[in-house]
Amino acid sequence: MDLLHPRNKRMTFNKEDTDYTLYLVTNNELIPSGLDIYGQVEKSLQNGVTLVQLREKELDTGAFIARARKIHELCERYNVPLIINDRVDVALAVDAEGVHVGQDDMDPALVRKMIGPQKIIGLSIRNEEEMWELLKSGADVDYIGIGAVYSTKTKKVNKPQQGPNGVKRILQLISENRPSLKSVIIGGLNKYNITWALRESQFGNKTTDGVAVVSCIMAQHDAGRETLETLDSILVGFQRSNEHVTKKVNNSDSSVVHFITNSVAQQFSANTCIAVGGSPIMSENLNEFDDFTKIPNICLVLNTGTPKLESLTIYQNALKAYNANMRPVIFDPVGCGATEMRRELMRSLLSFGHFTVIKGNLGEIATLAGINGENMRGVDSTLDLDIRSAVDKFSKVAIDLKCVLVITGKTDIVINGILPKEKIEYCYVDGGDPLMANITASGCALGGVIARHVACVPYIDTFAATVMAVSTYKEAAYRAGLKSKGPGTFLANFVDELYSVSTSRNLENTHVTYM
């Protein structure tokens, strides 16, 4: 233990100073095999969790107290308050900083009498009616937990999910009737949707004070990294600087790229992935998907270039596994405007799960956006649209799908829909060489290069990682074109140059132009 760490001091607790930003609720049943609750909680504390609630529905009193005492020691080491779920007796036994009760648990007024005025009391609020009851009762609670925002598998939810609009209505009641009351949101929240939930649930200047999470930390093999990335998303949603985060995942880290791609593209995609430092693996075996998601720094490339009758089931199972384990997914809807079957396949996948990056040529992205979707010749686009005017047409798509959108062509466009700002963030990348158009699967292979970069960075850095990948690809193509006589020599030279550019990681003084 680092005795000089600023948090390694005996905690002096004042409930008025409680930071609700990232509120971890434990669930021992979700912890991966080989790990334990103490390790998961400590990793989360080391990386920015600001409040911990110990939830144990199955332990008897003696075992609960023993566990609570150990968790409390960890929390004190990092100067973070401990809240006990439901059990006032356990909270008193270990001198925890507070108690959280649900609507069917002990009356919060009685809890206050038992634990005194200096401890924290939290109360679950599932709808406006319960919020009104709290306001009328005048119960002395310090914060409320608003949820479930979205559906969740970690706790049986007896009421419909509220969504951001439901949260907004409760925040309005707080703002108008009890503005000093703190709140956190909970239910189905993770690094992919937290930023949006916070921004869309805001009522005027009134926002919630924090986000409570369970599985997106407790169920992860690398709880430390997931804590960092979850905190990043929260702080971006609050539009605050990330003062808690002390480290970032370096893009030079190794990564694994799982390809579900068309047979034409497999070899070239694997070679380009290796050239930029990734480790490719090809599999459409449903039994492997969940195991793959446990690999650190893994990303899925879902390329629909050669769909078969059974493909939708394969795609959906892969998407479900990667979404459930919060791993990034790159979607390449190849030729999605060529036939009605491909259009329907694309629509089914977009409605089924979340994609981190969506990549396609102008015709494919136009089809995805519902713009002139018939203009496809095979997998090529025949859409006549000035690519530099495409940002206005496609930025809403990126924002609606909460993804980074890559539109490829002579000039590539990268649009950031993950972190919407007052002015949309985008980048034009010029470069490359005309011979790229004569190489089969050159577009498909870009998906693997993007995946290799995205797999190693926090979710909120996806845009920057994608721009780096596209720029690397363009620069390698430019250099290969200078020394190639035709498509055959270009193919070999391109892989060599991709390796060279990627190894140097230096795009200064290159022929890639950002506009």
Q: Are the C-beta atoms of residues 226 and 220 closer than 8 Å to each other? A: yes
Radius of gyration of the CA atoms of the chain, in A: 25
263 & 234 share domain: no
* Banded model confidence at residue 457, pLDDT cuts 50, 70, 90: confident
Q: How many CB atoms lie within 10 A of CB 51?
A: 25
172 & 25 share domain: yes
Q: Pinpoint the alpha helices (H) of 382-441.
A: 390-401
162 & 275 share domain: no
For 387, the 3-state DSSP assignment is helix
What range defines the domain where residue 282 resides?
A: 255-372+385-514
Collect all residues with Cβ–Cβ distance below 8 Å to 477 and sequence separation of at least 6: 431, 432, 433, 435, 436, 494, 497
Report if residue 1 sits inside a domain. no
Asked if the model's pLDDT at residue 472 lies above 90, the reply is yes
Report if residue 83 sits inside a domain. yes
The pLDDT tens digits for 395-436 are: 989 988 889 999 999 899 999 998 766 678 899 999 999 999
The span from the CA of 83 to the CA of 102, in Å, is: 13
For 212, the 3-state DSSP assignment is strand
The pLDDT tens digits for 366-389 are: 999 887 544 444 444 445 566 667
The span from the CA of 161 to the CA of 357, in Å, is: 27
234 & 276 share domain: no
Q: 212: cis peptide before it, omega within 30°?
A: no
The span from the CA of 273 to the CA of 257, in Å, is: 8
286 & 352 share domain: yes
Range in 198-212, 238-252, 472-486 with the lowest mean pLDDT: 238-252
Residue with tokens 């000039």: 411
147 & 263 share domain: no
Report if residue 6 sits inside a domain. no
212 & 325 share domain: no
323 & 200 share domain: no
322 & 182 share domain: no
Which pLDDT does position 161 carry in this prediction?
85
CATH of the domain at 438: 3.40.1190.20
Cα 356–Cα 358–Cα 361 angle in degrees, nearest 5: 165
Give the mean model confidence (pLDDT) for residues 109-121: 96
Report if residue 378 sits inside a domain. no
Sign of the Cα pseudo-torsion (43, 49, 52, 57, in order): negative
Report if residue 285 sits inside a domain. yes
Where a domain ends, among 211, 238, 265? 238
Where a domain ends, among 187, 205, 238? 238
Q: DSSP letter string over 329-370? A: EEEE-TTTTTSHHHHHHHHHHHHHS--SEEEEEHHHHHHHHT
Task: Give the CA distances from residue 479 to residues 410, 430, 473, in Å, rounded to whole numbers and listed in that order.
Answer: 15, 13, 10
Q: How many Å from the N-terminal Cα to the C-terminal Cα in the chain?
A: 48
Asked if the model's pLDDT at residue 150 lies above 50, the reply is yes
444 catalytic residue (yes or no):
yes
Tokens of 110: 């009685």
* Banded model confidence at residue 302, pLDDT cuts 50, 70, 90: very high
- Which entry of 216, 427, 444, 456 is annotated as an active-site residue? 444
Asked if the model's pLDDT at residue 13 lies above 50, the reply is yes
The span from the CA of 32 to the CA of 351, in Å, is: 29
Report if residue 274 sits inside a domain. yes
Q: DSSP letter string over 127-184? A: SHHHHHHHHHHT---SEEEE--SS--SSS---S---HHHHHHHHHHHHHHH-TT-EEE
Amino acid letter for position 433: D
Tokens of 507: 């795009």
Which pLDDT does position 384 carry in this prediction?
53
The span from the CA of 139 to the CA of 427, in Å, is: 52
Question: How many domains does the chain divide into?
Answer: 2
Give the mean model confidence (pLDDT) for residues 30-46: 96
209 & 321 share domain: no
Give the mean model confidence (pLDDT) for residues 342-354: 92
Cα 53–Cα 101–Cα 65 angle in degrees, nearest 5: 50
Which pLDDT does position 505 carry in this prediction?
62
Report if residue 10 sits inside a domain. no
The span from the CA of 56 to the CA of 65, in Å, is: 10
Asked if the model's pLDDT at residue 20 lies above 80, the reply is yes
Report if residue 3 sits inside a domain. no
Give the closest residue to 155 by CA, choosing from 24, 63, 30. 30
Q: How many CB atoms lie within 10 A of CB 351?
A: 7
296 bridge partner residues: none
H or E element, residue 302: strand 298-303
The share of the chain scoring above pLDDT 90, in percent, equals 68
176 & 76 share domain: yes
Where a domain ends, among 192, 207, 238? 238
CATH of the domain at 56: 3.20.20.70
Which pLDDT does position 153 carry in this prediction?
62
Which pLDDT does position 246 carry in this prediction?
36
Q: Name the pTM for this structure.
A: 0.76
30 & 156 share domain: yes
Asked if the model's pLDDT at residue 459 lies above 90, the reply is no
